[in-house]
Amino acid sequence: MDINATLIGQTIAFIVFVWFCMKFVWPPIINAIEERQKKIADGLNAGERAQKDLEKAQEEIAEQLKEAKQQAAEIVEQAKKRGAKIVEEETQRGHEEREKIVASGHEEVTAERNRAREELRKQVAVLAVTGAQKIIEREIDKDAHSDIVEKLVAEL
């Protein structure tokens, strides 16, 4: 329990240990720790930034989606309007066409009728004359009564 030369030995040992620790142990370990701390801090920062970017992108996406939806709705609306207009126009044109066809049909029918009537009239005249001739052949002179027959034909 006395103080003796052990004190000197222990002091030397202590100094050597501290020197060794200062030279070969402390710097690499503390450097690694600090480097890792920096890495972790950077990583956390990057993560935070990515999170923010993601949020921003999501917001942008939502906005774009909204816009697209709006545009789509507008387009559909326009298409509907245009469709309705086309239908209306086509209906109108159809009507007109029908009218035209009907009108032309009428005209044709009328013309045909007139022609038929003319034909008929001529034939009736001929028939009447022929009939009258047959009757008159017996009674009347052909030359004496031709003016009457002609008057009759003109009246038809």
Partner 1 sequence: MISGEQTPTQYIQHHLQNWTVGDGFWAVNVDTIFWSVLLGVLFLWSFRRVAKKSSAGVPGKWQCFVEMIVEFVDNSVKESFHGKDKLIAPLALTIFVWIFLMNLMDLIPVDWLPTAAMYGGYWLGFVDDPHDVYMKVVPTTDLNTTFALSLSVFALIIIYSIKYKGVKGFAKEMTFTPFNHWALIPVNFVLESITLLAKPASLALRLFGNLYAGELIFILIAMIGFWQLPAHFAWAVFHILVITLQAFIFMMLTIVYLSMASSEH
Shortest distance (Å) from residue 70 CB to partner 1: 50
Contact criterion met (CB below 8 Å) for 114 and 86: no
- Under 8 Å between Cβ of 142 and 136: yes
Q: CA–CA separation, 33 vs 144, rounded Å?
A: 151
Least distance to partner 1, CB of residue 5, Å: 5
Name the residue nearer to partner 1 (CB basis): 27 or 83: 27
SS (H, E, C) 85-111: HHHHHHHHHHHHHHHHHHHHHHHHHHH
- Angle 128-134-139 (CA atoms, 0-180°, nearest 5)? 115
Residues near partner 1 (CB under 8 A): 1-11, 13-15, 17-18, 20-22, 24-33, 35-36, 38-39
CB-nearer residue toward partner 1: 27 or 131:
27
| Nearer to partner 1 (CB atom), residue 40 or residue 120 | 40
Minimum gap (Å) between residue 45 Cβ and partner 1: 16
Write down the least CB distance from residue 69 to partner 1, Å. Answer: 47
Q: Is 5 exposed, middle or buried (0-12, 13-18, 19+ CB in 10 A)?
A: exposed
Q: Which is nearer to partner 1, 22 or 61 (CB)?
A: 22
For partner 1, which is the closer residue by CB, 15 or 84? 15
Q: Smallest distance from the beta carbon of 48 to partner 1, in angstroms?
A: 20
